[in-house]
């Protein structure tokens, strides 16, 4: 299921400003079967974009799923994990999942068949008849994720899905996301961890001050910034590396390597020859900036 957003604009009433322009001509696609990372600072418009896609709020612009407007039938093909978890604490785990799954058109028998598989798949610590309020926050989040995915949606929206999860459960969720992609689902999620986005996503879209400032396949976005970063492990000290021609900075990393920032990628081979001088160089990795570095650069820009 593909998503097409064209010239999306959203205004909110503001007591001081009158109208606050939150989304400004936002345009991007999520192609069928791909994973898209929607990134940006707090307040940049990520959740508002999700709410527009789901028709929770009115907006100006065009949003289409498989070329059509979202309607009642479309909703049953969407799975949505909100940033603010919205479980009912007095229900049991099974009652909560059944309630939300029934809203997506699942039969009671289908829910009974699929529910235990998902409890096991996500490693939920708790029993079907446990009250939601008795579970830890991490396990409550897993229950909400079951409700998001149990009906096998074709289009999945995950708003900060890793928030509050420990590393082990983060890995479990990552596996589930890849499994859902292999099943054929299109997935879009927001996250503040650029390492998660780099690991999981095919494409990245960045919103800053309501505008799109990055949009495209992750490697293509990184390559557009040039190969201005070199990771090196060699016999030279950090001070000696700083003195190499065309090196702007040299900083030692915790893994023992030294990260060089260089003037231009064209100097890569010259720097390699200078450092090696015919001797052994354990590592010379010539790379574009990381997504984290690009994010920090773009988030600091003022977009008029």
- DSSP string spanning 44-85? SSHHHHHHHHTTSS--EEEEEETTB---HHHHTTEEEE-SS-
Position 302 scores a pLDDT of 53
pLDDT along the chain (304 residues), means of 10: 96 80 96 97 94 95 94 89 89 96 95 97 94 93 95 96 90 96 97 95 96 96 92 93 95 92 93 89 92 90 52
Residue 95 domain-assigned? yes
Residue 293 domain-assigned? no
- Tell me how many domains the chain contains: 2
Burial pattern 118-149, b for ≥16 Cβ within 10 A else e, equals bbebbebebeeebebeebeeebbbbbbbbbbb
Q: Are 237 and 199 in a shared domain? A: no
Residue 256 domain-assigned? yes
Position 303 scores a pLDDT of 46
Q: Give the tokens for residue 26.
A: 């936002």
Q: Give the tokens for residue 97.
A: 């999942």
Give the largest CA-CA distance in the chain: 71
68 to each of 29, 57, 137, 203, 211, how far by Cα in Å? Answer: 14, 18, 37, 22, 24
Q: Are 168 and 257 in a shared domain? A: no
Position 17 scores a pLDDT of 67
Residue 238 domain-assigned? yes
Position 265 scores a pLDDT of 92
Q: Are 157 and 260 in a shared domain? A: no
Classified as helix, coil or strand, 109 is helix
Position 128 scores a pLDDT of 96
Q: Are 25 and 121 in a shared domain? A: yes
Q: Tell whether pTM > 0.95.
A: no
Q: Give the tokens for residue 113.
A: 């068949």
Q: Are 233 and 189 in a shared domain? A: no
Position 140 scores a pLDDT of 93
Residue 111 domain-assigned? yes
Classified as helix, coil or strand, 194 is helix
Identify the helix (H) or strand (E) that includes residue 182.
helix 167-183
Q: Are 112 and 75 in a shared domain? A: yes
- 126, 141 Cβ separation under 8 angstroms: no
Radius of gyration of the chain (CA): 23
Position 304 scores a pLDDT of 42
Q: Are 18 and 100 in a shared domain? A: yes
Q: What domain range includes position 263?
A: 226-287
Position 94 scores a pLDDT of 97
Q: Give the tokens for residue 301.
A: 């820009």
- 195, 11 Cβ separation under 8 angstroms: no
Q: Are 141 and 264 in a shared domain? A: no
Q: Are 210 and 233 in a shared domain? A: no
CATH code of the domain containing 84: 3.40.50.300
Instruction: Determine whether 71 is exposed, middle or buried from the number of CB atoms within 10 Å of its CB (0-12, 13-18, 19+).
Output: exposed
Q: Are 192 and 268 in a shared domain? A: no
Q: Are 91 and 212 in a shared domain? A: yes
């Amino acid at each position: 299921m593909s998503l097409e957003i064209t010239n999306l604009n959203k205004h909110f009433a503001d007591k001081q400003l009158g109208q606050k322009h939150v989304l400004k001509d936002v345009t991007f696609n999520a192609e069928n079967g791909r994973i898209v990372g929607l990134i940006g600072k707090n307040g940049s418009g990520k959740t508002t974009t999700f709410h527009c896609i789901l028709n929770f709020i009115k907006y100006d612009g065009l949003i289409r799923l498989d070329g059509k407007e979202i309607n009642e039938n479309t909703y049953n093909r969407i799975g949505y994990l909100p940033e603010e978890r919205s479980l009912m604490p007095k229900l049991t785990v099974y009652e909560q999942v059944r309630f939300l799954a029934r809203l997506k058109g699942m039969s009671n028998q289908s829910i009974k068949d699929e529910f235990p598989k998902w409890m096991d798949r996500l490693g939920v610590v708790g029993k079907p008849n446990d009250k939601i309020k008795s579970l830890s926050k991490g396990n409550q989040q897993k229950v909400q994720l079951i409700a998001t995915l149990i009906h096998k949606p074709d289009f999945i929206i995950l708003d900060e899905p890793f928030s509050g999860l420990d590393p082990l459960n983060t890995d479990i969720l990552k596996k589930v996301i890849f499994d859902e992609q292999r099943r054929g689902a299109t997935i879009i999620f927001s996250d503040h961890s650029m390492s998660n986005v780099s690991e999981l996503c095919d494409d990245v879209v960045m919103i800053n001050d309501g505008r799109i400032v990055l949009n495209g396949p992750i490697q293509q976005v990184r390559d557009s910034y040039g190969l201005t970063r070199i990771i090196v492990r060699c016999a030279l000290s950090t001070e000696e590396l700083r003195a190499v021609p065309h090196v702007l900075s040299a900083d030692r990393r915790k893994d023992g390597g030294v990260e060089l920032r260089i003037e231009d990628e064209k100097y890569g081979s010259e720097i390699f020859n200078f450092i090696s001088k015919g001797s052994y160089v354990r590592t010379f990795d010539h790379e574009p900036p990381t997504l984290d570095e690009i994010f920090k650069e773009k988030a600091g820009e003022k977009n008029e």
